[in-house]
């Protein structure tokens, strides 16, 4: 059975979707940018600050499903410029237990919603299903 969840601090999504959808095995999180976050507009343009806040909110969303970022199996990253990847990675890597990182795709998306520099989405496996 699918369950849908919207994080109250993020408000109702501005798109036709949910912040998080889970079934008995997996958790799927919608893409998240700093522009989606309360007071996130102040972070725009600072890739490290944007990344930190996004990862914090992704962690919060996973906690709702009794998971952590270490339960992530796949992450999709969209950057407005690949030159930002090293700064993104410097923050991103700290949120996982090395060397057990999820699979990842990183693409260039020249224009992200709200003027953000990065968008992150992920899929996690629910611990009780391992």
Does a structural domain hold residue 77? Answer: yes
Strands across the sheet containing 3-5:
3-5, 20-22, 26-33, 118-125, 72-79, 103-108
What distance in Å separates the CA atoms of residue 28 and residue 44, rounded to the nearest whole number?
25
Does a structural domain hold residue 58? Answer: yes
Does a structural domain hold residue 46? Answer: yes
pLDDT at 44 (0 to 100): 93
pLDDT at 41 (0 to 100): 85
Would you give the DSSP letter of residue 114?
G
> Phi and psi for 46 in degrees, rounded to 5?
-115, 95
Does a structural domain hold residue 48? Answer: yes
Question: pLDDT digits over 85-130, tens only?
Answer: 999 999 999 999 999 999 999 999 999 989 999 999 999 999 875 4
Question: pLDDT digits over 8-38, tens only?
Answer: 888 787 788 899 999 999 999 999 999 988 8
For the CA atoms of 33, 42, 47, 15, the dihedral, rounded to the nearest 10 degrees, stands at 10
Question: pLDDT digits over 37-66, tens only?
Answer: 888 888 999 999 999 999 999 999 999 889
Contact (CB, 8 A) for 79 and 107: yes
- Nearest one of 84, 95, 90 to 46, comparing CA atoms: 84
Which residues have CB under 8 Å from 96's CB, separation 6+? 69, 70, 72, 102
Does a structural domain hold residue 104? Answer: yes
Residue 41: give its domain's CATH number: 3.30.1330.40
Does a structural domain hold residue 130? Answer: no
Work out how many domains the chain is built from and give that number.
1
- Whole-structure pTM over 0.85, yes or no? yes
Boundaries of domain holding 120: 3-125
């Amino acid at each position: 059975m699918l369950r849908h969840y919207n994080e109250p601090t993020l408000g109702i999504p501005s798109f036709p979707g949910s912040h998080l959808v889970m079934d008995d095995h997996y958790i799927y999180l919608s893409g998240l940018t700093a522009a989606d976050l309360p007071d996130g507009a102040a972070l725009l343009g600072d890739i490290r600050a944007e990344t930190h806040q996004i990862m914090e909110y992704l962690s919060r969303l996973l906690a709702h499903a009794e998971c952590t970022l270490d339960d992530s199996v796949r992450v999709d990253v969209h950057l407005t410029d690949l030159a930002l990847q090293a700064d993104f990675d410097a923050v991103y890597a700290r949120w996982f237990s090395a060397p057990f990182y999820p699979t990842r795709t990183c693409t260039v998306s020249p224009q992200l919603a709200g003027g953000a520099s990065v968008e992150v989405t992920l899929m996690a496996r629910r611990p009780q299903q391992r």
